[in-house]
Structure 1
Amino acid sequence: MNKKSLGLYIHIPFCKAKCAYCDFCSVSGTGDEDMRRYVDALLLQMEDYSKAAKNYSVDTIFIGGGTPTVLPAKYVCDLIDGIYRNFDVPKKAEFTMEANPATVSGATLAKYRRAGVNRLSIGLQSANQEELSALSRIHTREDFEASYLAARNAGFHNINVDIMYGIPLQTPDSFNRTLDYVTKLEPEHISMYGLKIEDGTPFAAARDTLILPDEDSEADMYFDGIRYLEAKGFRHYEISNFALPGYECRHNLKYWNCDEYLGLGCAAHSYFRNLRFSFKRDIPLFIDAMEADVSHGGTLTGDGVAVTYDQYRNAGLVDELYTITPEERVGEYIMLRLRLADGISSEQFRQRFGLNFDALYGRRLGIYIDNGFMTFDGDRYAFTPKGMYVSSYILSNILDFDEDSHIINSIADGSDK
């Protein structure tokens, strides 16, 4: 029997120190005992998920955070053993782990590689020490370079480097120097993220005193970054992501292609069997609930492999749980697929949904095509770099769920084919 493919995300909410711009679910200063309890809770959840995923092949795995490498190496290896014990993981699966340069060594990286991790994502953010300090990063450029070279020596042949633009004290020149520094190391993948100041972060509290690039400089960094990386052989395959041919992040492509994935741990999100669900950002609650064995006893089996989550919900773990409507499926597909350079094929859209994309959205997209924000080749709609830069604004204008619901239903009923 051919199994369906499935992604697996594991959230590690621990950091050595939390960055001033970060609003992810993470805490600093956690002791080994509480980390051990959290890892054991994840292992219990794996047992539950293994029932739901018995007819699936887990071909992408992503351990993120937080800072997964702040865990003792033994705990990480225990997690990896649990993954292989509970799920069908093919030999060619992509297995990514995030790493902070200040929390890894050559010895630990070698252990992760031997255990099965084959893709490393290292957070550099900037090659400028003043900019790193402004971000409250705990590593130096030298730490990053040492960890990068150690990863190569440990046998990692697929490495991503995270960099940021639009950060405090940064200029287009300093950003270009970061690009030059990173590309000389020859990673297979580079993620280039713009700074977003999120509510509740130290940056939000200090918004009025931050020395940030102006809007024009920030835009210059984005477009200069695209031109520079493409000239170095990287393909700009998603708004913020660049890869050498064949090294696109397969796990993240699952998100953008609306494929199925399961998330483990507090704050983790899942899309499985037409359900979207997530867990609360509460580490003690997650640990206590899993230790109380809230989900064992068949709650993940239901109808074949359907997820019910009644006991998870009763324990207070569930933040959101809802079934995706046909209209929402269409809207999510458009919103996520247009993040990709390949965009949306009208023919593939018809095959997937039985709907005419041109009839639904062609008129709305026309103004963006005419003004250079999108392209259309007769089948495929895609953002240009200019469109990618303002994609959030464009997508909010394209997608009108109330209007779309009426149109989609009329087309699905055969009244407007």
Structure 2
Amino acid sequence: MNNSIGLYIHIPFCKSKCPYCDFFSGRASENDYDSYIKALSDNIKIWGKKTDKAVSTVYFGGGTPSILGAERLYYLLSLIKDFFNIADDAEITVEVNPDSGKTLDFDLLKLSGFNRISVGMQSAVEQELKALGRIHSINDAEVTIKRAQNAGIENISLDLMLGIPYQTIDSLKKSIDFCANCGVTHISSYILKIENGTVFEKIQDKLELPDEDRQVQLYLFAVDYLKKLGFEQYEISNFSKVGYESRHNINYWKCGEYIGIGPSAHSFFDGKRFYYSRNMEDFIENKTYFDCYGGDKEEFIMLSLRLKSGLNFKEYRERYNEDFPKDKIKNIKKFAVMGYMELNDDCAYFTPKGYLVSNAIISELI
């Protein structure tokens, strides 16, 4: 098994809070940014001394990491390289909002070692962006992508949301065409979920949201149309050109270990799952909370089935020293007959239709 780990850095700042978002993030001042970077630096140093394992992926998420500016990001990545054993071919990603991306110094990011960006676009239709409370325009997204490409960063991912207010098959096609025409290599396409405590939860009865049947149509259209444009589905919500899958996220789904640094960040390290609370004081004190022991059979099944490559029976046998249970194979056959799963001698995996009910099926399998 791969002995390398992933590293996640949480940047909890945004210029404005989107009404659908429940991530730990909010508005702050430049002084707040610098104070946070001090705490982040201290914790990076602490964690870097706890492991000498190779770090194969680094991911700056948020919030809006790009709001910090290229110089602060350069500093943080340089510090990480000083205190962690970063692999020569590491995938190093930073999330970018088009509003800050249109002026971000991508040349400096490229120089510092960032080789992948993930752009939070969500839609290429202005009416839909407005309904989502996004502060950027379609032009901002286009400018951001071109500037990154001109700096030599070719591995670019775009976020697209499905099941959002006013969305139709035609408007979704317009958004997907925009992504393809920009020459990006990866698309994350998530169905909108109304989260507790968000503005959208309070006003959901007033939102022009597609019903469940329409959501299914939108998702299946996206899977089919993206494939026609050369974006292969490799996970429930992720599509890429061949060779441009997100290595960082695949590590999560393969039960690989990772360290998450920042308030609300989760880790799986030395067999344990633990996390920082959504509290800045806890983070400053480097106080984490134990969640559970990770990597058991049920978790392996659940995470593997997120991937298009599916649940590999040989990997299961090598990891747990036993064959995959026959009663579970019998269950999978039942779902295969229904068109929700595919099964062969090597593995089992969901069909696109199966992904839409995957949570219910996985609960039966584990």
- Give the TM-score of the pair, scaled to structure 2: 0.97
Q: Aligned AA for 2:25?
A: S
3-state SS in 1 of match to 2:309: coil
Separation of aligned partners in 2, 1:136 and 1:156: 28
Separation in structure 2 between the aligned mates of residue 323 and residue 99 of structure 1, nearest angstrom: 33
When the two chains are superposed, the root-mean-square deviation of aligned CA atoms in Å is 1.5
Paired with 2:103 and 2:110, the residues of 1 have a C-alpha distance of: 11
Worse overlay, 357-366 or 188-197: 357-366
Task: Give 1:384 deviation, angstroms.
Answer: 0.7
2-structure distance, mates of 1:198, 1:222: 19
How far is the alpha carbon of 1:118 from its aligned partner?
0.2
Residue type of the partner of 2:85? Answer: D
Structure 1 residue 171 corresponds to structure 2 residue 168: yes
Quote the offset at 1:45 in angstroms. 0.8
Q: Note the 1:100-249 alignment, pairs <5 A.
A: 100-105=97-102, 108-249=105-246
In structure 1, what is the equivalent of residue 293 of structure 2? 323
Q: Runs of 5+ in structure 2 lacking a partner?
A: none
Aligned AA for 1:228? Y
Tell me which residue corresponds to 1:337: 304
On the 8 A contact 1:242/1:248 being kept in 2, the answer is yes
> In structure 1, what is the equivalent of residue 344 of structure 2?
377
Question: How far apart are the structure 2 equivalents of 1:174 and 1:75?
Answer: 37
Instruction: Measure the CA separation in 2 of the matches of 1:50 and 1:177.
Output: 44
1:73 matched to 2:70? The reply is: yes
Cα deviation for residue 286 of structure 1 reads 2.1
Q: Deviations over 1:48-102 (max 9, x none)?
A: 1112212x01110000000001113322111111111101112211000000000
Output the amino acid matched with 1:184: N
TM-score (norm: length of structure 1): 0.85
SS at match of 1:91: strand
Length, aligned pairs only: 366
Q: Report the counterpart of residue 21 of structure 2 in structure 1.
A: 22
Unaligned runs of 5+ in 1: 290-311, 400-417
* 2:278 match: 281
Find the counterpart in structure 1 of residue 32 from structure 2: 34
Q: Is the 8 A contact 2:276 2:282 kept in 1?
A: no
CA distance in 1, matches of 2:193, 2:55: 32
Q: In the alignment, what sits opposite 1:355?
A: 322
Q: 1:121–1:159: 8 Å Cα contact kept in structure 2? A: yes
- Partner Cα distance (1:218, 1:362) in 2: 30
Provide the C-alpha distance between the structure 1 equivalents of 2:357 and 2:138, rounded to a whole number of angstroms: 31
Secondary structure of 1:27's partner? coil
1:44 to 36, 42, 45: 42
For 2:364, the equivalent position in structure 1 comes to 397
Distance in 1, Cα, partners of 2:176 & 2:71:
35
CA deviations 1:88-135 (Å, max 9, x no partner) are: 112211000000000124552221111110000001100111100100
Q: Could you say which residue in structure 2 is the equivalent of 1:298?
A: none
Distance 1:213 1:282, change over 3 A: same
Shift of 1:359: 2.0
* Counterpart amino acid of residue 309 in structure 2: D
How far is the alpha carbon of 1:39 from its aligned partner? 0.9
Residues 303-343 of structure 1: CA distance to partner in whole angstroms, max 9, x if unpaired?
A: xxxxxxxxx5xxxx32434334xxx6111111100000111
Q: Which amino acid aligns with 1:209?
A: K
Q: Which has the larger radius of gyration?
A: 1
CA contact (8 A) 1:3 1:57 kept: no
4+ aligned runs moved over 4 Å, structure 1: none
